[in-house]
């Protein structure tokens, strides 16, 4: 399309390099491979043996855990002080890991599998699974844009209101964090303009807002489950230890 050729200048060389590195990080540690392998293995089993509690729970945990590497491999995140990294980890890993999992399960087709969904509901409940499935449907079909959104969420500063009696978390270098946030938002916008057009870019960001509100409902319900909180806290601890060792 001529439109794409004429708009190549909307992405600078630095932005192309940033986008390329970002995609490589996601592809290298993609949860899609894990989910596809899981589905293939399940389909080889007799029908009555498929999608049992243990394997499904292991897959869900693995998919959410895949978010850890997105923090560990992001040079901008690693450059922050340990105090700010810890706050961002605690505040954002639920959304980054959860939305990434919703995207994977929707696109692999597992959210459309009644047996899988029944087992997932036995672990996390119908409300959480329903909102998660809706999130998967609402997410943009463009995988590169979704990867950019997950990266933007890593630097998301608002702390959602599902906690009680929790003192506010004060970031030490909010200026730098907002700079990173704006940098990835601009990259996402320019990517959409480059690949599609202005209308598609506006629509994608509008749908993103709806998607975030939908998934927020899932998180509000999930944080009431001790199993979920233990899993998230474990991921945060592991990521913090990995970043400390890499220094």
- pLDDT digits 0-9 by tens, 199-211: 999 999 999 999 9
243 vs 165, residue with greater confidence: 243
pLDDT-derived band at 9, boundaries 50, 70, 90? very low
Euclidean distance between CA atoms 121 and 128, whole angstroms = 8
Average pLDDT over residues 60-82: 92
CA atoms within 13 A on the CB side of 49: 6
pLDDT score at 55: 96
pLDDT score at 20: 86
Residue 112 has pLDDT above 70, yes or no: yes
Query: What number of residues does the chain have?
Result: 247
CA atoms within 13 A on the CB side of 14: 3
pLDDT score at 245: 58
pLDDT score at 38: 96
Best CA proximity match to 239, nearest among 70, 79, 100: 70
Residue 50 has pLDDT above 70, yes or no: yes
Residue 115 has pLDDT above 90, yes or no: yes
Is the domain spanning 9-158+168-240 CATH 1.10.565.10? The answer is: yes
pLDDT score at 222: 93
Which of 13-27, 100-114, 160-174 bottoms out in mean pLDDT, i.e. has the lowest?
160-174
27 vs 51, residue with greater confidence: 51
Residue 188 has pLDDT above 90, yes or no: yes
What residue ranges do the domains of the chain occupy?
Answer: 9-158+168-240
Average pLDDT over residues 30-54: 93
CB atoms within 10 A of CB 175: 8
pLDDT score at 165: 56
Euclidean distance between CA atoms 239 and 1, whole angstroms = 43
Residue 189 has pLDDT above 80, yes or no: yes
């Amino acid at each position: 399309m001529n439109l794409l050729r004429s708009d190549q200048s909307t992405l600078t060389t630095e932005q192309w390099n940033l986008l390329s590195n970002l995609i490589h990080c996601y592809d290298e540690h993609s949860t899609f491979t894990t989910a596809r392998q899981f589905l293939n293995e399940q389909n080889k089993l007799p029908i009555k043996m498929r999608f049992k509690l243990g394997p499904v729970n292991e897959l869900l945990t693995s998919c959410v855990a895949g978010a850890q590497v997105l923090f560990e491999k992001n040079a901008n995140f690693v450059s922050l002080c340990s105090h700010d990294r810890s706050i961002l980890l605690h505040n954002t890993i639920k959304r980054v890991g959860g939305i990434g999992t919703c995207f994977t399960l929707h696109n692999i087709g597992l959210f459309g599998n009644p047996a899988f969904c029944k087992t997932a509901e036995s672990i996390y409940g119908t409300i959480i699974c329903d909102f998660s499935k809706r999130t998967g449907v609402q997410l943009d079909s463009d995988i590169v844009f979704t990867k950019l959104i997950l990266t933007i969420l890593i630097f998301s500063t608002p702390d959602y209101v599902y906690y009680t009696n929790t003192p506010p978390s004060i970031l030490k270098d909010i200026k730098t964090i907002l700079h990173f946030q704006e940098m990835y938002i601009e990259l996402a916008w320019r990517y959409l303009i480059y690949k599609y057009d202005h209308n598609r870019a506006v629509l994608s960001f509008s749908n993103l807002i709806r998607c975030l509100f939908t998934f927020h409902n899932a998180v509000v319900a999930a944080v009431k489950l001790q199993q979920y909180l233990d899993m998230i806290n474990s991921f945060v601890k592991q990521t913090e230890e990995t970043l400390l060792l890499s220094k």
